[in-house]
Amino acid sequence: MFRDRTVSLVIPAYNEEETIGQVVQEFRSEPHLDEIVVVDNNCVDRTAELASAAGARVIAESRKGYGAALTAGMDAAKGDLLVLVEADGSFRARDVVKLLCYLDDAGMVMGTRTTKQMVQQGANMRFMLRWGNVFMAKFLQLCWMRPAEPRFTDVGCTFRALSAGTWRKIRPRLRETGPAFSPEMMCAALQERCRIIEVPVTYAQRMGGESKHSDTFSRQARTAWKMFRTICRKRFLERGAPVSAAEARTT
């Protein structure tokens, strides 16, 4: 628990048998976490088995994609506070409390991987990827300069925390199932007038496997384009009430 509130950790996973056991074990050592939820997003390896053996509660999500897995995990989580993290071992459990501390002052706390001093050698944050995230974050920041005046330097960092109340508010506004879900969450929170704070987190080398979205320049470009379109849609086309599920399926 953290200040009398229960905390759930949500980990989306697609074929992460190389790392999932170590990641669950590391985060189980974090005393503020009450449960760890691993989302089996159509894995064809031993991810689910190893996650369960390490002490996680495993749920299955058949809809493909990073956003779909995170949505299922947060829907299933029981905590008053939710923390999201990757299954690849690139984030450190010691940073959980850093995110939770700021939830007294915000509805969502974002980690950023673009603080150079916090990026460890070998981490997947090369020059183009780092500055691409900064550019997209500044574009999102500019779009919401009035009235929110946010400060962002990263749009793709999974490591973040939010209250269950914030999740319930923004849930109807979310429809992305892939990596564009990350900035869509930020935009939805701003639409709901939630305060968002960004803090630097340690970003380390992956324990194994490769990124599904940023391992090559072509994938980085496709992900960036999807994120750009999502930010524009949220800011300029969805100014009013949340888009209904039926409307989302037809767009």
Q: How confident is the model at residue 244 (pLDDT cuts 50, 70, 90)?
A: very low
Whether residue 129 is predicted with pLDDT greater than 80 in this model: the reply is no
- Residue 74: half-sphere exposure toward Cβ, Cα within 13 Å: 25
Mean pLDDT rounded to a whole number for the chain:
89
Residue 2 lies in a domain: no
Question: In this prediction, what percent of the chain has a pLDDT beyond 70?
Answer: 87
Q: How many domains does the chain have?
A: 1
Residue 1 lies in a domain: no
Q: How confident is the model at residue 51 (pLDDT cuts 50, 70, 90)?
A: very high
Residue 25 lies in a domain: yes
Question: Is the torsion defined by CA of 218, 224, 228, 234 positive or negative?
Answer: positive
Q: How confident is the model at residue 148 (pLDDT cuts 50, 70, 90)?
A: confident
pLDDT for 157: 94
The mean pLDDT value for 228-234 works out to 96
Domain of 73, in residue numbers: 7-250
Q: How confident is the model at residue 121 (pLDDT cuts 50, 70, 90)?
A: low
Residue 54 lies in a domain: yes
- Taking the model in full, what pTM does it have? 0.89
Q: Output the 3-class SS for the chain.
A: CECCECEEEEEEECCCCCCHHHHHHHHHCCCCCCEEEEEECCCCCCHHHHHHHHCCEEEECCCCCHHHHHHHHHHHCCCCEEEECCCCCCCCHHHHHHHHHHHHCCCEEEEECCCHHHECCCCCCCHHHHHHHHHHHHHHHHHCCCCCCCCCCCCCCCCEEEEHHHHHHHHHHCCCCCCCHHHHHHHHHHHCCCCEEEEECCECCCCCCCCCCCCCHHHHHHHHHHHHHHHHHHHHHCCCCCCCHHHHHHC
Residue 49 lies in a domain: yes
The mean pLDDT value for 201-208 works out to 83
Residue 211 lies in a domain: yes
Residue 210 lies in a domain: yes
Q: What whole-number distance in Å separates Cα of residue 221 and Cα of residue 177?
A: 18
Question: Is the torsion defined by CA of 232, 236, 238, 241 positive or negative?
Answer: positive
pLDDT in tens, 55-97: 999 999 999 999 999 999 999 999 999 999 999 999 999 999 9
Q: Which two tokens stand for residue 124?
A: 């997947």
Whether residue 248 is predicted with pLDDT greater than 50 in this model: the reply is no
pLDDT for 246: 43
Check if the beta carbon of residue 8 is closer than 8 Å to that of residue 77: yes
Residue 212 lies in a domain: yes
Whether residue 20 is predicted with pLDDT greater than 80 in this model: the reply is yes
Q: For the chain, how many residues are written?
A: 251
Check if the beta carbon of residue 162 is closer than 8 Å to that of residue 82: yes
Q: How confident is the model at residue 240 (pLDDT cuts 50, 70, 90)?
A: low
pLDDT for 218: 80
> Residue 219: which CATH number?
3.90.550.10
